[in-house]
Amino acid sequence: MSVQNLPTVALVVMAGVSALSELKAQSGRAEEAAYDIGRADVERGRAVVVGAYAVPPGPDAGLRSPAISPQAGACFQCHGMDGKGDKAAMFPRLTDQTYKYLYDSLRDYASGVRQNAVMAPIAKALNDQQMRDVSAYYAAQKAADYPPADPVDPQILQHGAALAAVGNATRGVQGCINCHGPDGVGLPPTYPYLAGQYARYLETQMQAWKSGQRKGDGFGVMEHIAKRLTDDDIHAVSQYYAAIRPRVVTPEKSEHQALTAPLPPTPSPNSVR
């Protein structure tokens, strides 16, 4: 049967499957790695954070290029032990960020889907287990304080708040809360929190989505939204999220419980992977 003779429903399904495959390929992650926070360990992650780990030999060892030493790539130098980051240098807060978002970000840096001259060689030097462990470590941190919010024109904050709440229907922009939750607390496991994140970092990332420089979203949602925002919109919504303080951050209670428990030395015979 030719394509022309197929029922309309079948053609729609075929088009949908084709589009989905293309989007996944564009993201650089045709298949998602298993999301299993139980495979991560906070204490091993702490070793990655301070650069006190050895790069083990393995099938992926030859893929880590250019080489970087664990000490040179120690996370705490930019993000701190508590994940506070650095507002002036635009190193983002990682404190209590969602585990999956952190893990996926490292994978994107390593694969080249997400470009950053600092993060790419560091991520390439980590194997998959180390990526999981360091993501679990920062997802478990909760003690980093928030710096005082910058003084911002109230009209800019109001503009940003309106975009966050309802978006802009005229331009086909949905409200940020649909994915990033009320007050920017995030929607685990996929969508990161934005509340209290540094404004310059948020604005830079939004501009990267808008220009097409940043990838990694298989369905292109963020790029679609950013391209429909003006520079003033991006500035306003970045300032708004940087100014608010969440009541709670990333409500991942079940994941937090898993994070604080070290992995057993051997898997249980009855465990299901």
> Per-residue pLDDT tens for 80-90?
999 999 999 99
* Contacts for 84-89: CB closer than 8 Å, 24+ residues apart: 84/144, 84/145, 85/198, 85/201, 87/147, 87/198, 87/200
Indicate whether 14 pLDDT > 50: no
* More confident position, 60 or 137: 137
The band of 262, judged by pLDDT with boundaries at 50, 70 and 90, is very low
Distance of alpha carbon 268 from alpha carbon 161, whole angstroms: 49
The pLDDT assigned to 53 comes to 78
The pLDDT assigned to 11 comes to 33
The band of 122, judged by pLDDT with boundaries at 50, 70 and 90, is very high
Among the listed residues 218, 156, 172, the one whose alpha carbon sits nearest the alpha carbon of residue 27: 218
DSSP string, 31-77: SPPP--GGG--HHHHHHHHHT------STTGGG--S---TTTT-THH
The pLDDT assigned to 149 comes to 86
Among the listed residues 186, 192, 223, 228, the one whose alpha carbon sits nearest the alpha carbon of residue 208: 223
The band of 140, judged by pLDDT with boundaries at 50, 70 and 90, is very high
* More confident position, 72 or 111: 111
Distance of alpha carbon 243 from alpha carbon 146, whole angstroms: 10
The pLDDT assigned to 36 comes to 72
* More confident position, 53 or 168: 168
The pLDDT assigned to 39 comes to 87
The band of 207, judged by pLDDT with boundaries at 50, 70 and 90, is very high
Which residues, including other chains, have CB under 8 Å from residue 139's CB and lie 6 or more apart?
96, 97, 98, 99, 102, 250, 252, 255, 256, 259
List, in order of start, the domains of the chain with CATH numbers: 37-145 (1.10.760.10), 154-244 (1.10.760.10)
Residues in the chain: 273
The pLDDT assigned to 37 comes to 76
